[in-house]
Amino acid sequence: MIKEAVYHMPLSEYAYAINENELVIRIRTAKNDIDSCYVFFGDRVAYTEPIPVTKVRLDKCASDDLFDFYEAKINTSYTRVCYYFLINDKENKEKLYYYSRGFSEKMEAHRTEYFQFPYIRREEIVNEPDWVKDAVMYHIFPDSFADRKRGKKLSGNLRGIIENIDYLYELGINLIYLNPIFKADSYHKYDTIDYFDIDPDFGTKEDFKELVEKLHEKNMKIILDGVFNHSGPNFFAFKDVMEKQEESGYKDWFYKLNFPLDYSDPPNYECFAYVKEMPKLNTSNPVLRKYICDVGRYWIREFDIDGWRLDVANEVDHDTWRAFRKAVKEEKKDAFLIAEIWEDAEVWLRGDQFDSAMNYTFTYLCRDFFAKNIISAREFDQMIQKSLMRYPFPVSLAQMNFLDSHDVPRFLYYCDGDRRKLELATFYLIMAPGVPSIFYGDEAFINGSTETEYRADMPWDCLKGEDETKFAEKIRNWINLRKKHPALRYGDYKCVETSDDGIYIFKRECDEEKVICIINNSETKKLVTLPDGIDNRMCSPLVIEPFSGMIIDTPV
């Protein structure tokens, strides 16, 4: 047994509560190294000594390139749980107990030395909003979407979105994410002037209220983009600092100012990156923190928005996000909070700050597998499995998955314009665990690698073309499949088979059903025979076309 590979950490993605009577326990081992693994758990404050324990077998739930992951769901009436593991190696020659101090051939340790789940507190259970598991997101860059229904436009506005709600609804979308719409200096609006007002380029508060109401009439939700890491140069507090310098009462609202301020390139004060137009806010200032929380409350209380995507979340202090979450959830308990974090986001996703993060790992893996074809199906699966093990599974189901966004080149660019690759990646996006997000215009094959290109105007006329219409119809059908099958929304995720020639088969399974997804990421038509035991109805090979996917639903 390779002991160095064995890992478990209490109160983490390796041990978390689903509800007050159910724990998920995971352990990591070296790949293909053990035969079986069991967890023994008991009441950490039991009256008897030694305490009675219950034995539960762990099942393999994921494998990456180096490790296997095992998992068990423990149903218990205990509020305080302690536990340890028994690991049997591949040849059953070695059996080792594993607990907080390491390995032992015999379990003679006292309960206080077991792994501990001190108390299953309801307040600390990670609960994503119920509606999120059913969400399919459409990401709109407001300046570029529409100014009137499917017409030629100069720049986008809220009225254009209102007049195209039916288009989005028919596509199957039930969640809209808007890039910033607050008063700002630039077309992208990430340099906020007024957090309590709509930018006149986009319309009025009355327009926005109408947009939210009409979305809600169709059971569609909307989240806004909050930019609290930095402001714009014409934000009232920064203008005051520029005018009064060290005498300004707002100087502590900004991070690392050097007086006199030099508004030049590069500036002598802290900014987002080195952009002088985006001075960095000192969010740990209690007055500013309250101001930010008030903004979060205002747009929910006054306009009934359904959540926030928070910009540059990894550069804002954690206490501000804890306060923001508390404020927002007091206004709307099931508000959805998404962090813009490009790396792994474990520390922000422990239930006290965010519900979700932008899943750039998903983006990169889809780019490398579907677009560039520089990793195999086996490597793709291993990396996807690894990414799913980063978080408790309910958190993985809430991750914002996307192929492209306003900050990166269009996925079609990485496909060298091959629309079949974009279509297959979109199929996977909709079938995979997480909240699928479609960036406006992907369905119309917008391409480009520069900001001007990938933030281009929505080509409404193109949607009248045969190819674009077919793709939009495919997206609509795939979203309908996701809505039809519970397994595709919240089922677990396991690899069935991979091949060197681009075939990738995985399954999503929940209590109600099992769905098999088959992907052919290659230039040639393939015959696929499902492994024994996967679906007994399949007695002959399936034909799957180049760069295409299909699903088979199977009773559990």
The helix-helix angle for 205-217 and 286-303 (nearest 10°) equals 60
CA distance 125 to 18: 7
Name the E strands within 289-387.
Answer: 307-310, 336-339, 356-357
> Token match 């933030």: residue?
455
Judge contact between 415 and 370, C-beta under 8 A.
yes
Taking the CB of residue 126, how many other CB atoms lie within 10 A of it? 18
Please name the residues in contact with 57: beta carbons below 8 A apart, sequence gap of 6 or more: 36, 37, 38, 72
Which residues make beta-bridge pairs with 177? Answer: 139, 223
CA distance 299 to 213: 13
Which residues make beta-bridge pairs with 519? Answer: 504, 549
CA distance 61 to 27: 10
b/e code 224-239 from CB counts within 10 Å (16+ = b): bbbbbbbbbbbbebbb
CA distance 192 to 66: 45
CA distance 140 to 157: 11
Query: Of 156, 126, 151, whose CA–CA distance to 140 is shortest?
Result: 156
DSSP-derived letter for residue 387 is H
The region, left, alpha or beta by phi > 0 then psi within -120 to 50, assigned to residue 434 is left
CA distance 21 to 532: 36
DSSP-derived letter for residue 172 is T
Query: Of 16, 343, 361, whose CA–CA distance to 8 is shortest?
Result: 16
Residues with a catalytic annotation lie at 311, 340
